[in-house]
């Protein structure tokens, strides 16, 4: 995950009043908002804190964004770049590479931002959409692509629910956070891949189709 150098392109943008503004100030304010999201979470984030972190006046913020929600959405939308999707030729090694990517400094920053948004996500549909598009979807896509290549190579049998497999690591990482207060480090992330994700991905697909029978009983 990387941060954009300003939305909209060009060195200057225009705010609601039509006057030009320096996009570098926008970048500093967005970065301050993202840093505070990661540190204190959405509910405790204030415009005063963003102004202090960016060394700007609060009126400077309100000339650009009408409220905290708008600032946060714009700051999240300024992020660009999906995680690199490894292609080592081996499912296990691809999963190890994903573990390293997810637990890198940028990966952990993104995770802290997401955790900081949890309470707000339940009540704000726009924030949920941004989190899905900026954080969840790219990571799920990365896992799916790794699994799809493994199926094509014959390392995985066809028929697995790839979305279910892709969601396994985030679920276990969240459990680790709840139980220990810490995000998984690289060693623990690799352990999840080796002992949970990889064995399930390489096991025979075992979905029971609607209407299939087992032991003389009909399911579905």
At 134 the pLDDT is 78
36 CB burial (10 A radius; 0-12, 13-18, 19+): buried
Top CATH class of 2-77 equals mainly alpha
Topology alike, domains 2-77 and 82-202: yes
pLDDT at residue number 218: 45
| pLDDT score of 53 | 96
Q: So what's the architecture of 82-202 in CATH?
A: Orthogonal Bundle (1.10)
pLDDT confidence bin for 11, thresholds 50/70/90: very low
Angle at 138 (CA atoms; ends 122, 144), nearest 5 degrees: 110
In the chain, pLDDT over 90 holds for what percent of residues?
48
Q: What is the signed CA dihedral for 22, 51, 125, 115, rounded to 10 degrees?
A: 120
Provide the pLDDT for residue 180.
Answer: 83
Mind listing the pLDDT tens digit for each residue in 81-117? Answer: 566 789 999 999 999 999 998 888 888 888 888 888 8
Residue 114: the pLDDT is 82
Would you kindly state where each structural domain of the chain is located, as residue ranges?
2-77, 82-202
Give the bridge partners for 196, in sequence order: none
């Amino acid at each position: 995950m990387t941060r954009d150098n300003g939305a909209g392109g060009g060195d200057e943008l225009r705010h609601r009043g039509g006057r030009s503004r320096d996009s570098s100030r926008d970048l500093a304010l967005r970065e301050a908002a993202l840093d505070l999201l990661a540190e204190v979470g959405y509910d405790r984030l204030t415009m005063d804190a963003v102004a202090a972190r960016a060394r700007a006046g609060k009126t400077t913020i309100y000339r650009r964004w009408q409220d905290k929600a708008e600032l946060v959405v714009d700051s999240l939308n300024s992020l660009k770049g999906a995680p690199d999707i490894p292609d080592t030729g081996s499912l296990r090694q691809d999963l190890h590479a994903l573990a390293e990517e997810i637990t890198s400094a940028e990966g952990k920053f993104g995770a802290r931002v997401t955790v900081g948004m949890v309470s707000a996500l339940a009540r704000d549909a726009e924030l949920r959409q941004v989190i899905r598009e900026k954080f969840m979807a790219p990571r799920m896509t990365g896992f799916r692509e790794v699994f799809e290549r493994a199926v094509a190579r014959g390392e995985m049998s066809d028929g697995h629910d790839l979305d279910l497999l892709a969601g396994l690591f985030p679920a276990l990482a969240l459990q680790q956070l709840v139980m220990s207060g810490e995000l998984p480090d690289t060693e623990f992330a690799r352990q999840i891949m080796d002992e949970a994700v990889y064995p399930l991905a390489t096991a025979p697909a075992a979905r029971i189709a609607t209407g299939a029978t087992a032991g003389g009983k009909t399911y579905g």
